[in-house]
Amino acid sequence: MARIGVFVCWCGENIARNVDVQAIAAAAAEEPGVACGVAYKYMCSDPGQTLIGEKIAAERLDGIVIASCSPHMHLKTFRKTAQRQGLNPYLVEMANIREHCSWVHHDREQATAKALDLIRMAVAKVRRDQALEPIRVPVTRRALVIGGGVAGIQAALDIADAGYQVVMVEREPSIGGKMAGLSETFPTLDCSQCILTPRMVDVAQHPNIKLYTCSEVESVDGFLGNFKVTIRKRARYVDIAKCTGCGQCWNACPSKKNLSQFDYGMGTRTAIYVPFPQAVPARPVIDPAACIRLTKGKCGICAKKCQAGAILFEDHDELVSEDVGAVVVATGYQLYQIGRPEGDDKLSGYGEYGYGRYPDVIDSLQFERLVSASGPSGGELRRPSDGQVPKTVVFVSCVGSRDNAKGLSYCSKICCMVNAKHTMLYKHKVHDGQAHVFYMDIRAGGKNYDEFVRRAIEQDGAHYHRGRVSKITEENGRLIVRGVDTLAGEPLTIAADMVVLASAIRPAERVEELAQKLNVGYDEFGFLSESHPKLRPVETNAAGVFVCGVCQGPKDIPESVAQASAAAGKVLVMFSHENLSREPEIARVNETTCAACFACRRACPYHAIDQAEIRDRGGKLIKRTARVNPGLCMGCGTCVAVCPSKSADLDGFTEQQIYAMLECLA
Amino acid sequence: MTMLDELHQTCRRLLEEGSVKVVIGYAQSAPDEPAFPVFIDDVADVGQLVWNEWCLANLTKYLLRKDIRALGKPAIIVKGCDERALLVLERESQIDRAEMVVIGMACPGMGQPPQAVCGGCDVHQPRFCDITIGEAAAGDAADTRYAELDAFLKKTPAERMAYWRDELSRCVKCYACRQACPLCYCERCIVDKNRPTAIDTSATLKGNFAWQITRAFHLAGRCVGCDQCTRACPAGIDLRLLNLTTAKAAEAHFAYRAGMDRQAEPVIGGYSEQDQESFIR
Amino acid sequence: MSETEAIRLPSPPAPLPQRGEGSRDEKRLPSSPDQPSAAAGGEGSVFEPKIIAYVCNWCTYLGADLAGTNRLEYPANVRIVRLPCTGRIDFNLIVKAFEIGADAVLVSGCHPGDCHYTAGNYHARRRWILFRELLDTLGIEMDRIHFSWISAAEGKKFQQVVSEITAKTRQMGPYRAYHEICQS
């Protein structure tokens, strides 16, 4: 006969307010198979857990039910409690009488009745739990970092410095991400490239880092500790091993008027190009859409000029395979595409700001390039339309952010600081210029951030107007910005030479595709989902896959770097063990009764079921059967549902357990 | 030469040259009675094989029986509907076509008087056999295939429930339907499982409903419409209606008919991102 | 420690419904706020539907947790059975729920494309499409079986779905047709 212990938590008064915890502890004790029923104020606390441990020993319990909060909260906690007392941690179940009961039902009688039902179900379940042992899995101690921006670079360096190999995959021809294109960074006004490029070089030269640029992750197979990643190396058309970076090719290239992606369209480049002088690798790439040889079959001057014979017009995409044990996703962001025709359907708005219509209405990343010393105008701020130096520049906050109606509902976090920075950069370049900022709020919560904004206003003379901009039009070569100053209570119109829109930041393009390959969740905006917003911000629900940087949510550089190190830390925890433990709540097949129809094999999302043969000692085939690979099974139970003979079952959620739980509700 | 003569000649040849060890076919004890299965392993007995409108049974069931397998490599006589079962069994790893010789017989329809269900058949001519005897018009009854079901669905839900209460009250849980069906091959059927008892084995309405729902659902996208189950049921329950339901659903939603296309992916165990979900909120 | 322990008291205090006492229809539960108590109806009782919800651990269960964290109130009739994935839910669990006296069943999981196990919900959806047709032919009341996609961020949706199902089932009354089958 079972000896189950039922422990009912008051949770302070979170549960006790609406559920009669004493009564249900007493009633639970009367249930068949229950040896004791105990109520306590805080089960998860130290004395609470000690109480559980004492009862396990004193009452010789062979299973426990904790009636308290959600298992997502504390199931692991209580499993450890049991383990410390020598009780198998998988003989622990929880009844969620808080999130699913006391917090949502305020009729005490009903809530108490439901709580008792939930406890009965948990008792029925735990009575049929099996003692399970974690599955040991060897781990490949190599990491994959997807994305070569500042976050990816930080994570890669941390892991590589710890002595493990890192494979970094970057979509663009160079690493560096958005930070490489910035002019200066807040709140210190450091030269962005000056602080980033040494780390980029570290990555390139690190003996433990293998860098793939112009590459993307094609597919990911396997599981925690044992991922097999297929990487698509896109055709670069240049052999970077032979290339010396001498520049003869791009100096000779006749296809010159291509918009530069690195300059966000503010400048041009040749068809064969290095994205920026400090690129890593500092080797060119050919844009196949702009190259005359690749599109029309003519020219080929670069190949003639190249002394190293590094031009490869016949280059093609290549698929390579890498085995890794952990994946860090650091794919960064893009800006909300305002009013551009190819933008997202559900995000189309702000055409009234004239972006795309008036060349002098630009977004913040474009402004960074215009003021950047390595930018298209060599650091002199000249406006795109006529090259004149703008004397009045308006910066508009919250374009696309914080807007439920036609944008994104969230705050992009960095734009207030970016605007302040831009007003200061502008003032430093154009001493007689006047910066105006239309803002809703000022969000400057970081270290020295508020002081920075004050500097922009008090020392660099930026005019801040609290209000939104309704419309931007052009009259006589000037941009008429119509807005409102809510503090003064009046509409405000400014005639500007240039307008900079602080557009919302969004996750990078096609990140959802990547997330699905990795089995990582994402929210409605595409930001990758962390396991827990407060307590596990860099892990995902896909074991062995971690996130850092803006791909997880809007944040600035210090936070991205901190998260990157955090993710690296998690990877290093994984790598500190020779073997990893896998949760043993996985499927198993009763090989005696299996009819070998292999419906389970077809259905399994992880290809975790194999065809196996059972032979006698003479080698004669007795029968064939399906067999679950415990290293691959993730415990979803799809196989159980499709099995016609119900030979497949799922430890921790067996057919017997579910039926027993239902029966006790009859 | 008649089809029967050709059949006899073929079977004698196969046995004489040793290509097969046993022929699974039809025999009769009297001319106007349903044929029963025979297992001929001697050339001298080939004359027992018959071929006429009484060859209702689906012989593919016997391919999975251990005692029949022990007889050696078989030749099996199938009609178009039986052949569909072979395709499903092959897809589900139950048979290996290389281990048998399949003799397909063109079939204009079975039964005396002709069965209604044969009127709706579109596989009068077998398509994937090793040896095919006879020729029949393929038939195309797409619009009448589910006529019986469509007529039934004109009843209100309450009427339908009353109908099934009546029908299933006669079920005695003999499991003849399961034994007769070539696609019910699980050695330990789910109804025989008692930890937990998924299906009440007693012949009460509760147990009968649970059993029939389970069996019908396990045949979703697999039933080939050979009608063995309906013929075998001693209580005369209209099992065909239930099987037609899931067959129609598989065809309507997933353009899939069991046993028609050797390459098609089975319905259960697969999915499409485009599967319709108007009923999911 | 001063906190109380309650072990084997002679009898549980009064308000708990005793198992086996009276038929389910006469459960002595007071009406919930959104419905006036039915003074008529014989014994002054109100029909409280029994609703079983099979939910997936990663989406709907967390969505229900979120409803709890946000203190979104809903009727107390639902009993959640937590499963790793909707892919685990076979049709016989739905039949079993009705067999033990449920008046409505909810099956809920992750939105298509977001399944924690990548494809479990796709498999489930395919089964549901076929199973509904079968139930329809049998004359089983389709209005008593509900399917939904509720993500971990949709606490409000969980509250709404459960509230609507409870209200609707209350209106429809107990599922006598199937319960009678199971008792005969």
CB contact under 8 A, A38 and C6: yes
pLDDT at A521: 82
Residue whose C-alpha is closest to residue A564's, from A527, A540, A537: A537
CB contact under 8 A, A611 and B218: no
On the question of pLDDT at C32 being above 50, the answer is: no
Most B CBs within 10 A among A130, A513, A592, A597, hence the mutation to make, goes to A597
Give all strands (DSSP E) within chain C, no chain letters. 51-56, 78-83, 104-109, 145-149
CB contact under 8 A, A662 and C81: yes
pLDDT at C119: 84
pLDDT at B120: 80
Given A103, A516, A636, which is nearest C117 (Cβ)?
Answer: A636
On the question of pLDDT at B94 being above 60, the answer is: yes
pLDDT mean across residues, chain B? 93
Which positions of chain A have pLDDT values less than 70? Answer: 339-348
CA angle at A154 for the pair A153 and A157, rounded to the nearest 5°: 85
Half-sphere exposure of A33 (CA within 13 A, CB side): 17
From edge to edge, which strands make up the β-sheet containing A165-169? A209-212, A165-169, A142-146, A326-329, A545-547
The 10s digit of each residue's pLDDT in B173-186 is: 999 999 999 999 99
On the question of pLDDT at C7 being above 50, the answer is: no
Q: Which residue's structure tokens are 């319709």? A: B276
For every residue of A263-310, DSSP letters joined together read TTTSSEE-SEE-SSTT-SS---EE-TTT-HHHHHS---HHHHH-TT--
pLDDT at A339: 61
On the question of pLDDT at C22 being above 60, the answer is: no
pLDDT at A190: 92
Spatial contact of B247 and B217, defined as CB atoms under 8 Å apart = no
Chain C positions touching B281 (Cβ under 8 A) are 146-149, 161
Whole-angstrom distance, CA of residue A130 vs CA of residue A107: 36
Whole-angstrom distance, CA of residue B230 vs CA of residue B252: 23
Most A CBs within 10 A among B187, B200, B256, hence the mutation to make, goes to B187
Chains sharing 3 or more CB pairs under 8 A with chain C: A, B
Chain B positions touching C127 (Cβ under 8 A) are 268
Lookup: tokens for A405 = 């109606």
pLDDT at A258: 95
pLDDT at C5: 42
How close C88 gets to chain B, by Cα (Å)?
12
Given C8, C67, C114, which is nearest A521 (Cβ)?
Answer: C114
Confidence of residue C17 (pLDDT cuts 50, 70, 90): very low
CB contact under 8 A, B94 and A597: yes
Q: What percent of chain B has pLDDT over 90?
A: 82
CB of B193 within 8 Å of a chain A CB? The answer is: yes
The 10s digit of each residue's pLDDT in B124-138 is: 999 999 999 999 876
Chains sharing 3 or more CB pairs under 8 A with chain A: B, C
Spatial contact of A610 and A620, defined as CB atoms under 8 Å apart = no
Most B CBs within 10 A among C137, C145, C162, hence the mutation to make, goes to C137
Secondary structure of A538-598 in HEC code, one letter for each residue? CECCCCCEEECHHHCCCCCHHHHHHHHHHHHHHHHHHHCCCEEEECCCCEEECCCCCCCCC
Phi, psi of A237, deg, nearest 5: 70, 10
Q: What is the ipTM of this complex?
A: 0.93
Most A CBs within 10 A among C31, C92, C118, C158, hence the mutation to make, goes to C118
CB contact under 8 A, B188 and A602: no
Q: Which residues contact A653 (CB under 8 A, 6 or more apart)?
A: A585, A637, C83, C84, C88
Chain A positions touching B94 (Cβ under 8 A) are 595-597
Phi, psi of C123, deg, nearest 5: -65, -45
The 10s digit of each residue's pLDDT in B16-45 is: 999 999 999 999 999 889 999 999 999 999
CB contact under 8 A, C136 and B153: yes
Whole-angstrom distance, CA of residue A261 vs CA of residue A502: 19
pLDDT at A30: 95
Lookup: tokens for A489 = 């209570």
Higher per-residue confidence, A197 vs C3: A197
- The CA dihedral of A83, A84, A86, A88, to the nearest 10 degrees, is 0
Residue whose C-alpha is closest to residue A299's, from A242, A309, A282, A290: A290
Chain A positions touching C23 (Cβ under 8 A) are none
Chain C positions touching A634 (Cβ under 8 A) are 117
CB contact under 8 A, C117 and A38: no
Spatial contact of B273 and C112, defined as CB atoms under 8 Å apart = yes
Q: What is the CA radius of gyration of chain C?
A: 18
Mean pLDDT score, C96-108? 96
Q: Which long-range contacts link B159-168 to residues 24+ away (Cβ below 8 Å)?
A: B159/C139, B160/C137, B160/C138, B160/C139, B161/C138, B161/C139, B161/C140, B161/C177, B162/C139, B163/C139, B164/B209, B164/C138, B164/C139, B165/B205, B165/C181, B167/B237, B167/B238, B168/B205, B168/B208, B168/B209, B168/B212, B168/B237
- The CA dihedral of B266, B268, B269, B274, to the nearest 10 degrees, is 90
Phi, psi of B92, deg, nearest 5: -95, 20
